[in-house]
Structure 1
Amino acid sequence: MAIKIAFAASPAPVAQTARAALIGRYGDCPVDEAEVIVALGGDGFMLQTLHNTQDIPAPVYGMNRGTIGFLMNEYRESGLLRRLEQAEEAKINPLYMHATCVDGSTHKALAINEVSLLRAGPQAAKLRISVDGRLRMQELVCDGALVATPAGSTAYNYSAHGPILPIGSDVLALTAMAAFRPRRWRGALLPKTAKVRFDVLEADKRPVMADADSRSVLNVACVEIGSDPLITHRILFDPGHGLEERLISEQFS
């Protein structure tokens, strides 16, 4: 029996061309009827697809029609049904972000890779960090800080010299960006159940923005972050090229 596939593609011409070719070969069905969703684009589009389909039980199989494609499989038009049948599944929980702004407004978002706080002005940010309601750092002077999942640990987190986390680990990475004081502090490893709170000090003088997978909130006063166990994203990879193998390989490249 043929697998019911829904094809989604980024606006890029190369992705749209690939989608048309694949639909011509394998057909297409509505997303809410699909057994598998095939996403064509780069990592950004993969994250967008996972967010858009989080209430749909079908897993997502990505094929790279973008740039880096860390979350994607190699693009090939032929043999797709066999690849889908043999694919390995990785399950990940996103982070939630609850942000309160200086004006009192509140904003919520989910992030598969990371939630980051970034200075939004010429001066460094000043952040107070609490974990599970306990004050852990009175003042961090920095360009920013982030909390990353294992799936997102090779993205912004790794660029900020944070650790790469094994995909099956129940750990989150808290990483500082360009820390000025304490000068050598780069972050901490926290259990997946940890609830992290950042309070922005001198928010009017040193504005800070918060970002959850490219969804930004300006002028935040405090941000609470934690893993959301009630949401599970299912991602499919070709055998031997799953997230666990990619995370290990990245450390030896």
Structure 2
Amino acid sequence: MTKLSVNINKIATLRNSRGGNVPNLLQVAKDIQEFGADGITIHPRPDERHIRYADAIDLKPLVTTEYNIEGNPITKFKDLVNQVKPTQVTLVPDGDDVLTSNAGWDTVKHQSYLKDIISEFKEVGIRTSIFIDTNLNLIEAASTTGADRIELYTEDYATEYAKGNYQVVDKYSKAANLANDLGLGINAGHDLNLENIEFFKQNIPNLAEVSIGHALISESIYLGLENVVNMYLHKLK
């Protein structure tokens, strides 16, 4: 079964919009795990506009499933990850001014840089994943960085699937097959939702984990958080 990691950035966005501690991010993380999710994902950004660096520290003792921290490995982020020591760190090439992740790594251009970062995290026992597009040359290069996994950037899949262009999944299948042959684990995330997740899962061999936040939280407004978590788990079986 593919694991479901729930990104709780949007819970932090809602909390921060009013000040105070409603909704309680830590309690939501505990509840999501009790509802059956396999992990918690956060993506702190330098301006802390949603997840705060303090949140990452406070969540550590409460995440009893898998704890995944995503982000651009600037010095402040690396220091945080080394302090928290999550189950997994997902490296994302975000600029400071981006609203949400919008590109994967160029693992050829940034090969040496990624090797150094990944080596540092692996020395302290943190599993590493690289956020990446489906370009096969980039996946080949990712396999030589020392990373344990890749996370396929699925925005294009979600966009084309919504238009009825289901063949878009083929390039993700080919990317996953190559990654598997190269010994890389396969994660996926970005714009996956209840409508498109089952088809994606069915067509991606050896899909280890999906990270879903914006859609899952949005769907929960109508359907309820516990119900939506279990709907995703059912579709990922």
TM-score (norm 1): 0.24
Structure showing greater radius of gyration is: 1
Structure number having the greater helix percentage: 2
TM-score (norm 2): 0.26
